[in-house]
């Protein structure tokens, strides 16, 4: 029996060694940086399956001076290597579908590394939806800080490392990453940026930008920001705004500069908000963001790129033109990196070639009312000149029972 137990122990040790070696070699989350072998481990494709874990590992390793926080729009459009971002290393810590509560946790994680000096926080009204801010207990397994930003126990670090080396989940991700090295899947750079080529190809597979736009607009109207006059929503909104205040207050206390960016959503998406009856909330939200930013005016700035302008009003190709990629957008919900670069150019005062006329402005208390009025006027003009787009969006709003609140 003792010989059997020894053999079993040796087998278990060997199995663990094989698992650890395989997972460290394939390195699906880009953490160990082994020698790269073409077709084997060049691309850390585990980001496709476990971005929460992969990005937390990256923050611990990189200790970034600048982080970009946001949802899927920011994840693919804002490049940490943009020449305006002088404080390096920089990392795109944006996560698809993230609300402010999740971004708060990742901000605290980055802050705890000790190197953080600048935050670029890309905002959308959808990030204040209660569903986007539901509790995510899985964060406690991947982050090295707790919900208050304090370091978790030393055991957490070893538990996370053990998961990355020995777990069946990681082994599955390693195998998937190995098998897809030469297949079309989403790729993340070492700076956390999601490459857009796969997503653009996906839009083409869905039938082109117009059909893809209708899909994302229908998804929004079906379930996002409904019942915004309810007590439940008001309570959630207040809690989410408090999370933003905490980010700004802690940043100010540590001397971290924060740039708040309201993303350059497409004019169709802007009108979708209006068709859903959300325009009053939209303007209140911008006022609340500005009031929150004013808590530390020397360290926090607020930029609004969401108004209708020459580039955000880019015409969608005809339905039949499935392969006709747009210049500035993938579809009406996601803007491309070329537009994200223009946004960062404006924020960091880089030269402007004038192609995107009217793109963005810094919001200030003295000019907020005028800015909001100008945005309403620009949207009215777009509605008057885009009858097909308006009809499509209003048809969807009616289908999902929201058009009655539009006007």
Q: Looking up tokens 């992969």, which residue turns up?
A: 54
The rounded distance, in Å, linking the Cα atoms of 61 and 107 is: 15
Question: Mind listing the pLDDT tens digit for each residue in 16-39?
Answer: 888 999 999 999 999 999 999 999
Q: pLDDT averaged over the chain?
A: 93
User: What sign does the CA torsion over 30, 32, 34, 39 have?
Assistant: negative
| Residue-level pLDDT at 407 | 42
Position 406 pLDDT exceeds 60? no
| Residue-level pLDDT at 281 | 96
What average pLDDT does this structure show over 373-380? 97
| Residue-level pLDDT at 135 | 86
Backbone phi, psi, residue 387, to 5°: -60, -40
Position 11 pLDDT exceeds 70? no
Question: Mind listing the pLDDT tens digit for each residue in 43-72?
Answer: 999 999 999 999 999 999 999 999 999 999
Question: Mind listing the pLDDT tens digit for each residue in 94-148?
Answer: 999 999 999 999 999 999 999 999 999 999 999 999 999 998 988 999 999 999 9
**Helical (H) or strand (E) element with 148:** none
Q: Which two tokens stand for residue 83?
A: 């020449």
E-only strand ranges, 65-106: 66-69, 90-92
Backbone phi, psi, residue 120, to 5°: -110, 110
* N-terminal to C-terminal alpha carbon distance within the chain: 80
Q: Which two tokens stand for residue 96?
A: 């698809």
Position 15 pLDDT exceeds 80? no
Q: Is the CB of residue 159 less than 8 Å from the CB of residue 26? A: no
Q: Give the residue among 73, 316, 70, 78 at the shortest CA–CA distance from 212.
A: 316
The rounded distance, in Å, linking the Cα atoms of 405 and 27 is: 50
What average pLDDT does this structure show over 318-335? 87
Is the bond preceding 89 in cis, omega lying within 30 degrees of 0?
Answer: yes
| Residue-level pLDDT at 182 | 92
Say what percent of the chain tops pLDDT 90: 87
The rounded distance, in Å, linking the Cα atoms of 389 and 169 is: 44
Q: Give the residue among 339, 333, 381, 380 at the shortest CA–CA distance from 360.
A: 339
CA angle in degrees (0–180, nearest 5) for 43-44-50: 150
| Residue-level pLDDT at 12 | 67
What average pLDDT does this structure show over 180-184? 92
What average pLDDT does this structure show over 184-206? 94
Question: Mind listing the pLDDT tens digit for each residue in 151-165?
Answer: 998 899 999 999 999
| Residue-level pLDDT at 77 | 98
Q: Following DSSP, what letter does each residue of 260-294 receive, concatenated? A: EEE----HHHHHHHHHTT-HHHHHHHHHHHHHHHT
User: What sign does the CA torsion over 366, 369, 370, 374 have?
Assistant: positive
Q: Is the CB of residue 61 less than 8 Å from the CB of residue 79? A: no
Q: Does the pTM of the predicted model rise above 0.85?
A: yes
What average pLDDT does this structure show over 293-316? 94
The rounded distance, in Å, linking the Cα atoms of 16 and 165 is: 9
Q: Is the CB of residue 116 less than 8 Å from the CB of residue 64? A: yes
Give the chain's largest Cα–Cα span. 85
């Amino acid at each position: 029996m003792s010989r059997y137990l020894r053999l079993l122990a040796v087998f278990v040790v060997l199995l663990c060694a094989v698992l650890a070696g395989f997972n460290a070699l394939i390195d699906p989350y880009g953490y160990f940086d082994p020698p790269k072998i073409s077709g084997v481990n060049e691309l850390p494709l585990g980001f496709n399956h476990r971005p929460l874990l992969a990005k937390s590992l990256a923050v611990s390793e990189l200790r970034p001076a600048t982080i970009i926080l946001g949802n899927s729009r920011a994840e693919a459009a804002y490049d940490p290597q943009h020449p305006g971002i002088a404080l390096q290393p920089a990392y795109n810590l944006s996560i698809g579908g993230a609300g402010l509560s999740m971004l708060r946790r990742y901000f605290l994680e980055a802050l705890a590394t000790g190197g953080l000096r600048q935050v670029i926080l890309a905002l959308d009204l959808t990030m204040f939806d209660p569903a986007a801010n539901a509790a995510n207990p899985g964060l406690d397994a991947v982050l090295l800080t707790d919900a208050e930003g304090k370091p978790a126990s030393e055991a957490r670090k070893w538990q996370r490392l053990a998961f990355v080396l020995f777990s069946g989940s990681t082994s599955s991700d390693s195998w998937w990453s190995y098998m897809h090295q030469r297949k079309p899947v989403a790729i993340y750079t070492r700076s956390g940026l999601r490459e857009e080529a796969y997503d653009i190809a996906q839009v083409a597979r869905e039938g082109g930008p117009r059909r893809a736009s209708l899909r994302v607009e229908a998804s929004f109207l079906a379930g996002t920001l409904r019942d915004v006059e309810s007590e439940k929503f008001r309570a959630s909104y207040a809690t989410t705004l408090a999370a933003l205040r905490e980010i700004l207050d802690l940043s100010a206390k540590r001397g971290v500069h924060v740039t708040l960016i309201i993303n350059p959503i497409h004019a169709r998406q802007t009108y979708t908000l209006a068709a859903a009856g959300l325009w009053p909330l939209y303007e209140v939200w911008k006022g609340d963001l500005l009031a929150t930013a004013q808590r530390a005016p020397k360290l926090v700035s607020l930029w609004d790129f969401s108004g209708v302008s020459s580039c955000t009003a880019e015409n969608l190709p005809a339905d039949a033109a499935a392969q006709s990629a747009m210049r500035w957008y993938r579809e009406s919900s996601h803007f491309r990196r070329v537009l994200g670069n223009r946004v960062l150019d404006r924020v960091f005062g880089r030269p402007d070639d004038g192609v995107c006329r009217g793109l963005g402005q810094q919001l200030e208390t003295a000019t907020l009312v005028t800015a909001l009025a100008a945005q309403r006027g620009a949207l009215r003009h777009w509605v008057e000149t885009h009858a097909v787009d308006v009809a499509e969006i209003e048809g969807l709003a009616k289908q999902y029972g929201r058009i009655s609140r539009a006007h």
